[in-house]
Structure 1
Amino acid sequence: MSKVLELTKELIKKPSVTPLDEGCQDLIASRLKKLGFEINHLPFGEVSNLWATFGEGEKTLTLLGHTDVVPTGPVEKWTNGPFEPTERDGLLYGRGAADMKGSVAAFVVAAEEFCQKNPKPNGRLSIMLTSDEEGPAKDGVKKVIKHLTDQGEKIDWCLVGEPTAERKLGDVVKIGRRGSINGVIKVQGIQGHAAYPHNAENPIHTSSKALNEIVALQWPDETGKFPDSILQVSNINSGTGAHNVIPGELSLKLNVRYSPSISPQTVIDAVEGILQKYKLNFNSEWEDSGSPFLTTSTTLINSVIESISNVTGINEERSIY
C-alpha cells in the first residue's frame, strides 16, 4: 500500500463532519513534527486550524487544505460505511476520499519526502489546514490569515489541494475563482383557508412573475477570462404542508457565482429591484462569501504545469472555478 493511500484511509476513518476535526490535524502534526516542522494549532470556537512551517528562507509556499467533510446523509444508503475506507474496482470509497482527505494525504506525504531530501531548503514550506471549509467558513482560513498577518507572516505562493480533475489526474488546473454571493428572500403574504382566498394573500401566487424574472438574471463577463455570472435558486419553501392552507410566507434561497465584471451590490440591486417592481412585501439577507480572483503568478503556474507534465505526461487545461 502506498504512503498516500495509507494516510488517506487513516484520515477517512475519522468522522470529521464540519466543523469537527476529530484528530485529523493531530495525526498530521505528529508526522510533520518528526521532520522538524514548527507546529502551531490555532483553534477558533469549535474549529481546528493547523499552521506548520519548515525552513527559514525568505519566500513561503503554502499547501492549503481542509480536514472537515460534509454530512454523510442516510448512512443506510452507503454500500460501505462513510467512515470505512473501502477499495472497490480500483477506486477508494469513503467520505472525504476526493474532497479532500486524499489530496491532504498526497501533499503531506510529498512534503515529508521533500523535507527528507532537502533538510535546508531555499525558502519555507508551510501547510495550512482547517476544519471549517464545508460549513460557514468563518473560523477557518479567514481568521488564520488575519492571525498570521498580525504576526508579520507573508505567504508568497499558495497551492490549494481541492480536487479539480475532470477526466483524469492533473487534466485541469484552476488558476482563479468566481465570487459567490448568497441570498435569502422572504416574501410575506396573509395565511388563510384555501376555500376563502379572498381573505388571504398567497405569496406563491404573488411572487410567481417576479421569480420568473429573477431566475432569468444573467450578467455577461467583460474580462474575457471568466464565465458569465449566473443566478441559481437553491431552495424554495412555503406553506404548512396542508393542502387546504394558503401559506403566509414564501422563503427563497439563491446563489450567484459572479465575475469581476460585477459586484455583489449589482446582484442585490437587480433582485430587489424586481421584487419592488411587483410591489411585494419582502425582507432579504445577503452574504458575500468570496470575492473573485485570478492568479497572475507565472512562477507558481509554470511550476505546477511542469510538475504535472513530468509526473503524468499530460498537458493540463487552465480553468476558472
Structure 2
Amino acid sequence: MSIPSPLDLLASLIKCPSVTPNEGGALSLLESILKPAGFEVHRPVFSDTNTPDVENFYARYGKNAPFLLFAGHTDVVPPGDLAAWKHDPFSATIENGEIYGRGATDMKGGIACMVVAALRFIKNNPDFKGSIGFLITGDEEDVAINGTVKLLKWAQERGENFDYCILGEPTNPDKLGDMIKIGRRGSLSGKLTVHGKQGHVGYPDLAHNPVPDMMKLLEALLAKPLDQGSTHFSHSNLEVTTVDTGNPATNVIPANIKAAFNIRFNDLWTFDTLQQELRQRLESVADGRISYTLDFVPSNAPSFLTQPDDFVKQLQNVIQSVTGAMPILSTTGGTSDARFIKDYCPVIEFGGIGKTMHQVNESMPIADIEPLTNIYEKMAEAFFASH
C-alpha cells in the first residue's frame, strides 16, 4: 500500500481549484489514493432546481460493524482579490513553517490528515474488525442542498449504518488541541417590515412615518435576553443586520421600512418555540397600533448537541496524549455539516486551527499536520479497540 505524506497530500489538494461547487480534481485525487488501497468508492452527483449539480464522494473499507466515519468537504470559498495574496491561492506554497492556499485549513488540511491516518491504521491493523469510511461533499461552502444532506440519504438507502463520525472542520482557535465541537447553535433569520404612509415631511399629519414604529419593534426584540445559556451552550443572541427604508429623498416620509436579523440559538429553543417568542414580543408592543409583517427565512440549521460520552472522552485523551493539552468541549461558531450528520449517528468535530479560514493568505502550520494525522489514527485505534 502506497501512503503519501499528509503534507504532500494537502499540497496536492490545495492545487485542485475546487471552488464551490466545482470538483476541481480534488475528489478524483482522493479516489486515486483510496481505491487502490481497497476502498469501495462512489461519486454520486445530486441535482435540484435552481442550484448547480454537485459531485460528492463516498468511500468505505470493510463490510462489518462497527463503522467509523470521517467526514468533510473539499470545496472552498472563492479566493477573492488575487493581488492581496502573498502567493497564488492554489500553489500550495510553503513559507516560514506554513503551507498557504485556499482551503489549507478549511478543510483540506483535515481531509489530508484523515485520509493518511486511515491508510496508516489499515496498514498497521490489517485484521481490524469493522469498517472505515469517508463522506465528503463539494457543497459545504455553498447552499448545502446537493451535498452532505443528500449524500447521507443516499448512503442510508444503500444500507450504510454509521456508529460514530468525526468531522474534520477547523475547531481550534489558537493551537492544536484547544477545542472539540460537540454541537452547534441553530440559525434563524427573519425579515421585519413596518408599513406606514408616504407623504411630505412638511405635512406629517397626512402621512405616517414607519421609522419610529420600527424602532419600537426592534427594541421589543432586543430589550430582554432570549436566555442565559445552558449547560453546554452560551446564551442565544439576536443581531439586527440591516435596517433600510430604501428612501433616497430627505423630504419624503417613507412608506415602509425593512429590517433583517439573525439569531444563533442554543438547545433551549426549537424553530417553532423561537418564532413564537419573537411574535409575542412584537405583539406586546404593536398591540394593533403598528402595521407590520414578519417573515422567517427557511433554515436547515437547528441547534444540536452530542452528549459527552465515552467516544468524546476517548478523543480528549488521545488529543492530550499527542499535544499535551486537554481540549475543552464547545458548541461555539457557525453552522457545519454536522447538523445533517447528527440525524444518522453521533458526530463530533475536530480539526486544525481556524484563524485564517476564508481569509486572504489562508494557511496551515506544517508543524500541526503530523500531530493531527496521529490524533486521527490513534482515535481509530481507540475506537476499534473499545468495540
Considering the TM-score relative to the shorter chain, is it more than 0.5? yes
- The 5 A counterparts of 1:23-172 are 23-45=25-47, 46-172=53-179
Cα deviation, residue 217, structure 1: 4.8
2: distance between equivalents of 1:270 and 1:257? 14
Letter aligned with residue 143 of structure 2:
P
Letter aligned with residue 302 of structure 1:
K
The 3 A distance-change label for structure 1 pair 301 and 73 is same
Cα deviation, residue 131, structure 1: 1.4
Does 1 or 2 have the higher relative contact order (CA < 8 Å, sep 6+)? Answer: 2
1:320 match: 331
- Decide which structure has greater strand share: 1
The 3 A distance-change label for structure 1 pair 235 and 126 is farther
Alpha-carbon deviations, 1:126-151, whole Å to 9, x = none? Answer: 11101121222122221122222222
Letter aligned with residue 5 of structure 2:
K
1:295 match: 306
Alpha-carbon deviations, 1:267-316, whole Å to 9, x = none? Answer: 21233334443323224133232222222363321331232122212222
The 3 A distance-change label for structure 1 pair 297 and 225 is closer
Count of residue pairs brought into register by the alignment: 320
| Contact 2:190–2:294, Cα closer than 8 Å, also in 1 | no
The 3 A distance-change label for structure 1 pair 34 and 237 is farther
| Identity among equivalent pairs (%) | 37
1:263 match: 270
| Contact 2:31–2:41, Cα closer than 8 Å, also in 1 | yes
Unmatched tracts of structure 2, length 5 or more: 48-52, 333-387
Alpha-carbon deviations, 1:161-186, whole Å to 9, x = none? Answer: 11111221112111222222222334
2: distance between equivalents of 1:111 and 1:260? 33
The 3 A distance-change label for structure 1 pair 251 and 89 is farther
Is 1:309 the counterpart of 2:320? The answer is: yes
Larger deviation, residues 66-75 vs 98-107: 66-75
Larger deviation, residues 67-76 vs 311-320: 67-76
State the SS of the aligned residue for 2:325. coil
Unmatched tracts of structure 1, length 5 or more: none
State the SS of the aligned residue for 1:168. coil
2: distance between equivalents of 1:111 and 1:55? 12
2: distance between equivalents of 1:114 and 1:34? 16
1: distance between equivalents of 2:267 and 2:181? 16
Q: Which of 226, 251, 257 is the aligned partner of 2:233?
A: 226
2: distance between equivalents of 1:272 and 1:154? 40
2: distance between equivalents of 1:255 and 1:213? 15
1: distance between equivalents of 2:224 and 2:299? 18
Is 1:177 the counterpart of 2:184? The answer is: yes
TM-score scaled by length of structure 1: 0.88
2: distance between equivalents of 1:115 and 1:3? 15
